[in-house]
Amino acid sequence: MKDTNSLYFVLIVTGFSDTIIPMKRILTISILFFVGMAIQAQDLSYYNSEYTRSEATFADRLSVLELLQEAGITVTGEFYHNALRFLLARAPDINSRNEQEAAERSVIILSQGLGAAKYTAAAADLWHAVEVFDVAKESNEGNALQAALVALADVDARQYIAYIIQRLDGYNAQTFRNPEARRRFQTAVIGCVRSLEIFKDASGYRPVFFVYVGSYDPMVRQIAANALPVIAEDPADVIIGIIRNPSVEPPIKLQAWKEMLNNRAPNPSKARVAATALEIGWTFSTANRTFQANLRELRRTAIDAIRQYGAANDAVYADLEKAYAINFAANSPDYDEMAAALNALAALKTDEAVALLHKFLQELNNRRRTGPWRAKERQLLEWVLSCVGITGTRDQEVRLLLRTIQSSSLFTTQERSWAQNALTALGF
């Protein structure tokens, strides 16, 4: 009767009084009861001895970790570290699905504990956990790997940033046709993204950007999108590299440029990327019509950014001239692009900008004399004259050309009035 009462007591305190429990579990339940007593006494030595018992199963160890976690006791980083190291040493002993799940859940608890404790000394073992629970092995779900990657960032193990980037680059290069493999690998991708987000190192921007524009599920892509502005407030150099990369297709170049426009980078950085975007918009050659449309949008938005943020270098002026001259000669000009280029030159107000507007105006003046003179030329004359007036230039050659147009009988009354308006705007 005494033994029966003892057993009944154990069942009561462990919450299983109404459950028939196999005899082989009686010992485990008893152990957990006494571990609970030890925890309540703030004594972790008994917990440690039970966790490291050679005959304990992975489920037993998980149960002890969960009990410790539920008790709400603050555990030292050293304690979690030793527990993780012990588990990893016995990982080769996993021989069933249940043990695999218990081990992964244990790694999650231990990684979270180490991260919360900022226990830097555990960095090597956290990376070991990433390798042991790599999703390349079909038995691994990816949650343990994800938790270990995040913990690496929490403990500021910056020496592993390059390895995390390399791993994420590898994921980005793969195509997952098997739904289960896709699910597991996306779990790992999220771990990499969240880790790089915590590190806030600009080198992590590029691989996370390619998660954002990749073929992942919308939820994964959104996590990457949210991480980008956190990883780097000024990713100008990274985005310039993406735009210049000849293997990156125009839709991705355009998206990279849009990310630059939408972040909190300073204006000079946006001007630098705009200059690159405009250059590549002209030099990238493709027969794909969709890509050509992407490049046109890349150029137009870059020109507008140059109007707002300035010319980062002198090469910008040659590319702005292309936007006008190439369209002028085209059978179907892109008037929006031409107008954008003219407005950008007017806003820049530099000597180089004024010189280009003067050149365009001189060409139109010559065209009026020799023909043809159509609606296109007439529209451009109005735009160029208006932009010249906006520059505020005091250039004498510009003034002389405006006087010539304003007084020439070759031009209509309205055309001459546009020249007069420009002169008035310039104060002549």
CA angle 69–75–78, rounded 5-degree value:
130
pLDDT tens digit sequence for 8-63: 333 333 443 444 445 445 545 555 555 444 444 456 787 788 899 989 999 999 99
pLDDT tens digit sequence for 324-369: 999 999 999 999 999 999 999 999 999 999 999 999 999 999 999 9
Q: Before 372, cis peptide (omega within 30)? A: yes
CB crowding 238-254: b at 16 or more within 10 Å, else e: bbbebbeeeebebbbbb
Q: Is 374 exposed, middle or buried (0-12, 13-18, 19+ CB in 10 A)?
A: exposed
- Residue 4: the pLDDT is 37
**Best CA proximity match to 211, nearest among 243, 165, 168:** 168
**Best CA proximity match to 397, nearest among 366, 337, 351, 345:** 351
pLDDT tens digit sequence for 147-186: 999 999 999 999 999 999 999 999 999 988 899 999 999 9
CA gap 378, 366 in Å, rounded: 13
Q: Give, to the nearest 10 degrees, the angle between helix 289-309 and helix 250-262.
A: 20
Amino acid, single-letter form, for residue 71: A
Q: Is 165 exposed, middle or buried (0-12, 13-18, 19+ CB in 10 A)?
A: buried
Structural tokens at position 224? 């990457």
Q: Before 333, cis peptide (omega within 30)? A: no
| Sign of torsion over alpha carbons 17, 18, 19, 23 | positive
Structural tokens at position 77? 């980083």
pLDDT tens digit sequence for 270-308: 999 999 999 999 999 999 999 999 999 999 999 999 999
**Best CA proximity match to 123, nearest among 160, 166, 95, 94:** 160
Structural tokens at position 128? 């070991």
Is residue 269 within 8 A of residue 305, CB to CB? The reply is: no
Residue 336 CB neighbour total at 10 angstroms: 12
What is the value of pTM for the model shown?
0.85
- Residue 21: the pLDDT is 44
Helices (H), 41-96: 45-51, 58-71, 77-89
CA gap 362, 384 in Å, rounded: 10
